[in-house]
Amino acid sequence: MDKTLKEKIDAWTDTDEHTEIPFRKRVQDFWKWFTDNEKKLSQIVENRGKSDSENAVEFIAAGTNLINEEVHFNLGGDYEFTFSVEGHSSLFYLYPYVVSQLPEQFKDKWHFFPFNQGTDSSFSFGMYGVNVAMDQVQVAVTYQEDINAFSIRFYEKDLCSLEEAQSYNAYYIMMEIMLGEGLSYQYIADVERADAPLEDAISLPALRTYIVDTLKAHDKEVFDNPQQVYTSYRFEPQENEELRFDVVAGSSCFQPLVANYYNGSTELFDQLNRFGAQAMFIAFPFENEKEGDAKKALDFRYELEDRLSEELLSPEGLGLLLGGAVGTGTCYIDLLLFDKPAFMEKIIPFLKDYPQYRFYLSDFRQDCDLHRLFETEDDESED
């Protein structure tokens, strides 16, 4: 690598303290810890209920803290290890990668899950001083086909006797335990507490089956991993100094991140950053003077997205393709990087296959610097 290129990469990857250790490296460190301690972890599983659970949790947290101190997990029977999203949608885009890196020698023994998978078994749930049997919680369900999601009304005497905020919080936790975090995130549009017993209601443990059967009856695929679902969007281009306000149409498997951008929020960007991952986008202007120019640029964007995913991101665990957009004179490719320094070393030579375009890289947030990925000989002659 030449010195100039190395200096550029170092400058572009110089970020805050949270990104000093890339997410990919954190995951590698976690699995090394797991491998070194697998025998003790097995003993913890085999002696559940007999050993000191507090010490066991503290021991396991020493490993998950290598990823981030905010990681929540559950160690169950049959060598089950489940990560929990705990309401942070950004983790739907990180934990599947962690699970995918499970060392080969443990795959026949251990069962790792990127988030709570759900259950239809009833049990008693205690919170805020009340104990509620899951099968006593009534839910009335309405399917909204236009948005492919469900509205829920719930009722259980003791649960609904709590203060409103406590009642809703307890119900959401119970619902996610039953549905699983992925299905709940993907298909529950809104929830309302009822004041009296409901007619035509089903029990909470039956909700998962009801949702799956309803979706299939409407010829819908059932997804419990948000990464699998792309949402299309259309905008009216706006006059704005910020990028992406010229966007006409796009699609994303992480629509809340797109919404954050236009709202001027960095909430999801910051959540990802704390785990050493960076939400970014590549932007490249295109000529839009003749009929067909926009279609030509869009076709090229699709081609480039496929190559990026298949040749750079997936093979080495460098990140995810989140989607893309086309504006009045610029195309955008949206990325979630698990190892930004390693990605930068590969993307610059990769894009030199396309000297007819000028490529730029930006964080997925407003008010940040835009970096030129490489300069052509024509650029140097213009200087």
Q: What whole-number distance in Å separates Cα of residue 124 and Cα of residue 121?
A: 10
Residues 6+ apart with CB under 8 A from 90: 268, 271, 272, 275
- Return the structure tokens found at 49: 């209920």
Kindly report, residue by residue over 302-343, the tens digit of the pLDDT.
999 999 999 999 998 999 999 999 999 999 999 999 999 999
Per the prediction, the chain carries an average pLDDT of 89
Domains along the sequence of the chain with CATH? 18-113 (no CATH), 124-217 (no CATH), 226-382 (3.30.70)
Q: What is the arithmetic mean of pLDDT over 30-41?
A: 96
Kindly report, residue by residue over 1-24, the tens digit of the pLDDT.
333 334 444 444 444 444 589 999
Contact predicate 84/74, CB 8 Å: yes
pLDDT at 307: 94
3-state helix/strand/coil string of 240-277: CCCCCCCEEEEEECCHHHHHHHHHCCCHHHHHHHHCCC
Better-scored residue on pLDDT, 142 or 9: 142
Kindly report, residue by residue over 167-207, the tens digit of the pLDDT.
999 999 999 999 999 999 999 999 999 999 998 899 999 99
pTM for this predicted structure: 0.88
Per-residue burial over 113-139, b if 16 or more Cβ lie within 10 Å, else e, is bbbbebeeebeebebeebebebbebbb
Kindly report, residue by residue over 211-248, the tens digit of the pLDDT.
999 999 999 999 989 999 999 999 999 988 889 999 99
pLDDT at 375: 63
Helix (H) or strand (E) segment spanning residue 150: strand 149-155
Kindly report, residue by residue over 59-88, the tens digit of the pLDDT.
999 999 999 999 999 988 889 999 999 889
